[in-house]
Amino acid sequence: KGNFDSSEFPVNKVFTIGKFKIGVVHGHQIVPWGDVEALADYARKLDVDLLISGHTHIQRIAKHAGKYFVNPGSATGAYSSQNPDSCPSFIILEILEEDIRAFIYQYREGKLSIVKDILTQDSEGHQEQQHEEQEEQHHHHQEHHQEQDQHQHQHEQYQEDQHHQEHHQEQDQHQ
């Protein structure tokens, strides 16, 4: 529930995916905003492995006190008093059996940056993943376009099949 949302939304939500217990909270309740110690206290209160929060509009991934913290930033790049240099950003999390992978998207100065990060690796592996940004960005972009092309081809094939089927049905009705 954000600081301007109606009261029908819960203040936080806790759920489990695989072996990871995940908490989601807007973040305005955690003071000081975005502070890793305050986030760790809130994560302990919810008894979660991963806490996803926002409010600051500052994209961030951190590990502290055995917990993981994700702030996706702002999908629109909305202004933040804590970060006047805000840019559009979001994070997609892929939760596997033993790992949590993050695909970090930022749009700055007309360029899309995509970084793959593995939250649950040790700190050395965490840094290595960030240095692979250019390769991952290119590879992910190619995969996305290949997927789009495949979906477009499948859609065109479906439409063509539908057209042929309708044509045959019309012929059968005339006979």
pLDDT in tens, the chain (175 residues): 555 656 778 888 999 999 999 999 988 888 777 788 989 999 999 999 999 998 887 888 989 888 999 999 888 888 777 777 788 999 999 999 889 999 999 999 999 999 998 888 654 444 334 434 444 444 444 454 555 555 555 555 655 655 555 555 566 666 5
Cβ atoms of residues 14 and 23 within 8 Å: yes
Q: Are 59 and 72 in contact (CB under 8 A)?
A: yes
pLDDT at position 86, please?
80
Q: Is the pTM of this model over 0.75?
A: no
Closest Cα to residue 76, out of 89, 85, 61, 91? 89
pLDDT at 16: 95
Name the one residue in this structure whose structure tokens are 């049905």: 169
Q: What is the pLDDT of residues 139-163, one digit of tens each?
A: 444 454 555 555 555 555 655 655 5
Give the span between the Cα atoms of 75 and 66, in whole angstroms.
28
Buried b / exposed e along 57-66 (16+ C-beta atoms within 10 A): bbbbbebeee
Mode of pairing for the β-strands spanning 89-95 and 100-108: antiparallel
- Which pLDDT belongs to residue 128? 36
Q: How far is CA 54 from the centre of its chain?
A: 12
Instruction: Tell me: cis bond preceding 32? Omega within 30 of 0 counts.
Output: yes
